[in-house]
Structure 1
């Protein structure tokens, strides 16, 4: 297998995860409407797990350096593109479900979620060396703000389920995962800062 195909592995994993979520929904739902709702729900969870890998890649390598974490970090861009693919599948499933059920989403949800998709698209389109060179510091600001905003949308969504008895189990699983990922990044930042402080003191 070539280096290029190895780099494409995260995108392939994202595609398989999304396709599996849709297929599982089609097999599990009692009718077409329920199948569409399950597809929207499960593709969101699949894309969230892919997002967590991209979000935590650098922190994992900083805190737990190994051949595996180094490979994950080296392919962080591909994990990000995989997430963009998976969440686009989720968007398609969600729009399909809303069209079938006629459900309406609150305006604030549409604005917040819509802006997240704008950021996802912008980050996906600029996930290449040429864009990084052309944008300079703006590239880092875009991707830094974007990934944390997307994290917030996921956390806010899953934490909100904790107040709903019917969806509390989902919140209890996924909200702590979001917090843990943020915690990893904070610990990695602290470790790097201490290393810089020690280096400057020598």
Structure 2
């Protein structure tokens, strides 16, 4: 059971609701908080964050109303910074060059409830991230990194919402000696393989 095997899946079905493209309607328990954190990590690490309209929708869906406006302003400064965008191979308006596919995808491998109360929870999500530009001649090829995000969640308007989060590197596994795929294979994979709704 969950008590003797805390890393086992809970077996609870994923949520059926959505806020735009982001899962919503998480249960008011530890499983619900952990599921919310994993799905929010995916949204906040997606390529949608690089486009104003999609970023605003993500912020509205993920963040608590009390902090959403401030976070939107902070994120706009980061994701509309021309120097930052060009450093990762995007144009000043966030578009990839012709013939290139921009990839930013978060892949949770586990979550841990650090603290839990009726109206608040702290949940850490361990994940791998794929990030870079797929295409011939890319100067920022797609690479894999590992991070842990710790989310402060608040129960508001019948759902878990993010009030704050921090990120740290790792834990990072030893990489296997595998040949890297071609830029075209990476672009095709990201376009053909869909993501998941996560349920703890």
The alignment's TM-score, normalised by the length of structure 1, stands at: 0.24
Which protein is richer in strand relative to its size?
A: 2
Bigger-Rg structure (1/2): 1
The alignment's TM-score, normalised by the length of structure 2, stands at: 0.24
